[in-house]
Amino acid sequence: MLGMSSDFVQFPPQKVQEELYLVGFRVDPNAEGPELFTLIASGGENDRPLVAKGRVLFFRKPKDAALALAQSDNDMKRLGQPPTELALFCDVAEVLHLVNAKQEDPDGLILECIGCFDDLVRAAKVNVPAEYMSLLSAMSERLMESNEFGSFLADKGLDREKLEDALMWCVGAVAVKATVV
């Protein structure tokens, strides 16, 4: 007799449930914690931040999440009330320090930051320069395999300053296509 799995395959397949996540950002290395926040819908086909009139929406305090959500026009209101707990802290200041001066990223901050800004740049509908895109993609691939990246940069002849520039370009591109409510 053939062995059969006791796991049932749901048909039709269940739709993945999208949820809202609170994401905080720190750019100033002297700031104690997040300086800006947004909500990101995750669990669907593509993660996406709050957007209104083609601009990414940020807010200064988590309590302002509902106000920002009410202003969004990219179908995120249907996901319910905004969360109050921080799901992701995108510490840009720390990531720039890691990229500039360290050999590894034991906490996965760089990969999280690259992924987050990928979602933000896409939502802002800005094209990343090819040189920066290839560098960020290569770095992401490496960090998915290992938290050590210093030797990878050296072996590939990749410049830390160029990687730092690519990250700062993403921050700037999102900033000029954003609204703070």
Is 4 within a domain?
Answer: no
Q: What distance in Å separates the CA atoms of residue 131 and residue 34, rounded to the nearest whole number?
A: 29
What is the span of the domain harbouring residue 53? 19-180
Contact (Cβ atoms closer than 8 angstroms) between residue 107 and residue 157: no
Q: Mean pLDDT over residues 156-174, rounded?
A: 96
Q: What is the pLDDT of residue 44?
A: 86
Is 109 within a domain?
Answer: yes
3-state SS assignment for residue 65: helix
Q: Is the pLDDT of residue 78 over 50?
A: yes
Is 12 within a domain?
Answer: no
Q: Is the pLDDT of residue 46 over 90?
A: no
Q: What is the pLDDT of residue 176?
A: 97
Is 65 within a domain?
Answer: yes
Q: What is the pLDDT of residue 63?
A: 96
User: Can you give the pTM of this predicted structure?
Assistant: 0.89
Is 131 within a domain?
Answer: yes
Contact (Cβ atoms closer than 8 angstroms) between residue 99 and residue 117: no
Residue 171 pairs in a beta bridge with none
Total number of domains constituting the chain: 1
